[in-house]
Amino acid sequence: MIAGAAGVDDELSPRLRGFGPAGIISLLLVLLTGTVFLGNIAVPVGAVLVLVWVRLSRTPWEEIGYARPRSWILTVAGGLAFGVAFKLVMKAIVMPLLGADPINRAFHYLAGNRAMLPAAIWAMLVAGFAEETIFRGFFFERLGRLFGHGAAAKTAIVLLTSAGFGLAHYAQQGLAGVEQATIVGLVLGTIYGRTKRIAMLMVAHAAFDLTALAIIYWDVETEVAHLVFR
């Protein structure tokens, strides 16, 4: 039984790593599932499928950025500081320059909404893990295998994944959501392309989203959006 299972695994692994039917199906499953909401609870189905794919395809974890940080303390602290600062810059400078509404209409119902706060916090934490695993870790690995790892290829991968990340936010957040997510994708994608480490980006992404949630929950979106441009 063990030998038979090993034989099946030996046959499946290269198929999942390639771009035949098995590889394309696995890519589509990750792309089409993403994060699923069961009621108000976010479930990172797509990211879990990525981890399953890594295991079944025998892809080294480092290939999707799952490398042990040199220092967990510096990684977490740096990610928190960067994520909070990045969100404040986006809210107070970048989005106003793009003419965005100071109020995020898609999530304004969270203002002062204590009942939804635990589920919203959980969703922000899930987003940090799931979206980085999919859009940086998994898609960088898949596109890198197709395009290579030269400077031009990395630039193309950052642009493609950022565009996809932006479009993934259109249905819920409209054009402003696409603009913000595309810029976030460009910044985080560039960092990932240089470091190939995803832990700090997960922390930064979660901190970015939690800062956005705090601004909405305390109903200070307009004040933050007008910090620089009155």
Confidence bin at 10 (pLDDT 50/70/90): confident
Element (H, E) at 131: helix 117-131
CA distance 146 to 55: 20
Q: How far apart are CA 218 and CA 59, in angstroms?
A: 44
Per-residue model confidence as pLDDT tens digits over 164-185: 999 999 999 999 999 999 999 9
Phi then psi dihedrals of residue 40, to 5 deg:
-100, 5
**C-alpha dihedral sign at 4, 6, 12, 18:** negative
pLDDT (average), residues 6-35: 87
The pLDDT value recorded for residue 3 is 43
Mean pLDDT on 16-40:
94
How much is the mean pLDDT over the chain? 94
Residue 150 CA to residue 190 CA, distance in Å, equals 14
Q: Report the pLDDT averaged over residues 190-214.
A: 97
Is residue 64 within 8 Å of residue 192, measured between CB atoms? no
Summarize pLDDT for 100-118 with one digit per residue, the tens.
999 999 999 999 999 999 9
* Residue 25, φ and ψ in degrees, nearest 5: -60, -45
User: Taking the chain, what is the end-to-end CA distance rounded to the nearest angstrom?
Assistant: 71
Q: Whole-angstrom Cα distance, residue 188 to residue 198?
A: 9
What's residue 9's pLDDT?
61
pLDDT at 1: 38
Please state the φ and ψ torsions of residue 115, each to the nearest 5 degrees. Answer: -65, -35
Contacts of 230 (CB under 8 A, 6+ apart): none
Find the largest Cα–Cα distance for the chain: 71
Q: How many CB atoms lie within 10 A of CB 5?
A: 9
Percentage of the chain exceeding pLDDT 90: 94
What percent of the chain has a predicted confidence (pLDDT) above 70?
96
- Residue 189's pLDDT is 97
107-146 tens-digit pLDDT: 999 999 999 999 999 999 999 999 999 999 999 999 999 9
Average pLDDT over residues 43-62: 97
* pLDDT for the residue numbered 2: 44
pTM beyond 0.85: yes
